[in-house]
Amino acid sequence: MRIILLLLTCCLITSCTHTRTLPIDVTYGERQSLYFTGRGSAAGIMMDSMLGGAGIAIGIAIDEGIAKDISAAIVASNPKFTMDGLVKDVLREKVEQGMNADGLKSVVITKYGFQAAPDDKVAPLVSLKFICESVAIPAVEFTANNKERAIPFGQSKTDGKLVEKFLRDAVLEVLSMHNSCDPHN
């Protein structure tokens, strides 16, 4: 009797901890790292008139440095953070809530990061490409680009949890734009 009770307990425990895997691949496009565009780009254009191409290179380097600072803030608050993991988690949640993912073969993260917004703030920008199994529906790319939903620039480099939340919200926004891969919808 104890053996049966032990087996039933083990089955109950393992079934409760089992998470459903999603048969949809999430990959990166050309760039795997977070990007930032704004302050450096503007400075690079201004420096171009005085320094030529070197001015633009300096501007790009400024933006890359800001992107690394924002990434470091995320990793400091969540060392296991990956953007593909975030997209998979949000996608799994949406499917469990009823989102139709039939025919969705994969999702490509073509761009993710932040961009300068008014009032010394930064706004998330996430671009996902949906690859459908159906040849009737080509790959479709949606971008969350809402500059009204922004956080203070300084806070983006120090508050990793908030930055991750804003990226998550942007992924949710993009997923809400994608209806389905069903050619009849």
Query: How far does Cα 50 stand from its chain's mean position?
Result: 37
Q: Give yes or no for residue 28 having a pLDDT over 90.
A: yes
Assign residue 86 the CATH number of its domain: 3.30.160
Residue type, position 129, single letter: K
What does the alpha-carbon distance between residue 121 and residue 125 come to, in Å, rounded to a whole number? 13
Is residue 73 situated within a structural domain? Answer: no
pLDDT value for 23: 78
Q: What is the mean pLDDT of residues 26-36?
A: 92
Is residue 47 situated within a structural domain? Answer: no
User: 3-state SS of the chain: helix, strand, coil percent to 5?
Assistant: 50, 20, 30
Confidence band for 135, pLDDT divided at 50, 70 and 90: low
Is residue 3 situated within a structural domain? Answer: no
Which residues form the domain of 160? 22-36+80-177
Q: Give yes or no for residue 15 having a pLDDT over 70.
A: no
Question: Three-state SS for 30?
Answer: coil
Q: What is the mean pLDDT of residues 101-122?
A: 90
pLDDT value for 5: 45
Does the pTM surpass 0.95? The reply is no
Query: How far does Cα 33 stand from its chain's mean position?
Result: 10
What does the alpha-carbon distance between residue 107 and residue 8 come to, in Å, rounded to a whole number? 39
Is residue 71 situated within a structural domain? Answer: no
Q: Give yes or no for residue 122 having a pLDDT over 90.
A: yes
Number of domains comprising the chain: 1
Q: What are phi and psi of 145, to 5 degrees?
A: -145, 70
Q: Give yes or no for residue 29 having a pLDDT over 60.
A: yes
Is residue 116 situated within a structural domain? Answer: yes
Is residue 48 situated within a structural domain? Answer: no
Is residue 75 situated within a structural domain? Answer: no
142's enclosing H/E stretch is strand 140-145
Is residue 60 situated within a structural domain? Answer: no
